[in-house]
Amino acid sequence: MERLKQMRLRRAFFLLALCGLLAAAALAAALWMGCRAVYSRYPLGGVSIDVDGTITPLPQPTPEQLRMLRALDIAGLLGWILFPVMGLAASGALFYRWKLKEPIALLLEGTRRIQAHDLDFSIPPTPPDELGQICAAFENMRRELLKTNRELWRQAEERRRLNAAFAHDLRNPITVLKGSVSLLRQNPSDEQALDRLERYTWRIEQYVEAMSSIQRLEQLPVRPETVSLSVLKTELEETARLLAPALETAVRGPEEGTAELDHGMFLTVAENLTGNAARFARKRLALTLTLERDHLLLSVEDDGPGFPPELLKGGPKPFGKTGEGHFGMGLYSSALLCRKHGGGLRLENRPGTGAAALASLKINREF
């Protein structure tokens, strides 16, 4: 039974049909022989000619016996017709029950649940025949649909949070601008009001630019290319030298090998994390590049005061102010780019050493 379930559909059907026909032939032959045995017990009529030429009439069958003999002939012939048909029908029924019923039921149930927008299920493993392969492909499709739906939901949630944060942070500048306009109407020569107008107009411009940059990042496609790991390490050294010239920097990473990733996204994440760490570091900045299975890890550590507890708990948020003129968009955009590249961003505080940001990007590496 188990061997039959593991067979391909064509081979399984051929084997079942062959077994059905063989069983039908055996039953038909047994029926024929049984009919012949019964047939021999009845008188057949005619004459018997002895060796010496004596002719002896044989008993003639009665009308009832003739009907029985005809019935036996018909039964023997029908056995050779009906038993093969019944054998093929039984083979088809067994083939459906053992090979088709379960996969078809799973596919129908999966289709019904997908039509009902329910993707929270899974198709159990099926035998590796043609229908089993279709079930496996169906399960892969369900997983991709679930992954896509979750990603769309996450993007919608992120966009909602972004819009809410944007609207919330614009309230104060707008209120100040309204008050400044009212003061200018009363006293057009009020220099302080003019300064506030200029400062808050510049602040709103920064908000709008940050919002536009996030929208562009969400639509940015991932374009992987093969990049040497030594080149990435050299670029990290150059980034640290430009963004943290007054700090003691250390860059570690592999000197050999290549990785397939979006070079521009990696540099953007590295620049954002390095720039953020340089703002809070006191004396030292450390960048470490490592490979872990199918991910490239970039660790940026500083000896500053560390991340605030609310940032560690809730993660980077848009327009989460981290200093004068900064809206927390560097960490937020880095987390967004890492997720687009199949990885993520983790923030933590190292006891006695400061803050550490660990970015991971999914890669296909070669050696």
Would you say residue 63 has pLDDT above 90? no
What mean pLDDT do residues 303-318 have?
A: 82
pLDDT band at 232 (very low <50, low <70, confident <90, very high): very high
Q: Per residue in 64-86, pLDDT tens? A: 877 887 888 888 888 888 988 99
Give the single-character DSSP code of 245: T
326 pLDDT tier (thresholds 50, 70, 90): very low
The stretch 171-178 carries a mean pLDDT of: 65
Task: Identify the weakest region by mean pLDDT among 17-31, 133-147, 156-170, 174-188.
Answer: 156-170
Q: Which residue has the tokens 């450390």?
A: 286
Q: What's the mean per-residue pLDDT of the chain?
A: 81
Classify the phi-psi angles of 57: left when phi > 0, otherwise alpha if psi is within -120 to 50, otherwise beta: beta
Instruction: Please report the DSSP string for 271-290 in residue order.
Output: HHHHHHHHHH-SSEEEEEEE
Cite the DSSP H helix spans in 96-129.
101-115
The DSSP element (H or E) to which 57 belongs, if any, is strand 55-57
Of all residues in the chain, the percent with pLDDT exceeding 90 is: 17
CB-side exposure of 181: number of CA atoms within 13 Å? 8
- Is the pLDDT assigned to residue 242 strictly greater than 60? yes
Q: What is the pLDDT of residue 298?
A: 95
Task: Determine how many CB atoms are found less than 10 A away from the CB of residue 351.
Answer: 6
Residue-wise pLDDT for 254-293, tens only, equals: 988 889 998 888 988 898 899 889 988 999 999 999 998 8
Helix (H) or strand (E) holding 189: none
Q: State the average pLDDT over residues 353-367.
A: 80
18-25 long-range contacts, CB within 8 A, separation 24+: 19/91, 20/84, 20/87, 20/88, 20/90, 20/91, 21/84, 21/87, 21/88, 22/87, 23/87, 24/83, 24/84, 24/85, 24/86, 24/87, 24/88, 25/83, 25/84
pLDDT at 203: 63
Q: Burial letters for 57-78: b for 16+ Cβ neighbours within 10 Å, e otherwise?
A: eeeeeeeebeebbeebeeebee
Please give the model's pTM, rounded to 2 decimal places.
Answer: 0.53
Confidence class of residue 252 from pLDDT cuts 50, 70 and 90? very high
Q: Who has greater pLDDT, 150 or 252?
A: 252
* 264, two tokens: 């521009």
| The predicted structure's pLDDT at residue 332 | 82
For residue 169, pLDDT beyond 60: no
**In Å, what is the CA distance from 177 to each residue of 164, 198, 206?**
20, 9, 15
Kindly report the number of other CB atoms within 10 A of residue 258's CB atom.
18
- Residue 355 CA to residue 347 CA, distance in Å, equals 8
Rounded Cα distance between 38 and 30, Å, is: 12
Distances (CA, A) of 30 to 79, 84, 109, 332: 9, 13, 45, 83
Largest CA distance in the chain: 157
Q: Determine the length of the chain.
A: 367
Give dist(CA 123, CA 295) in Å, integer: 29
Nearest CA among 277, 248, 282, 278 for reference residue 359? 277
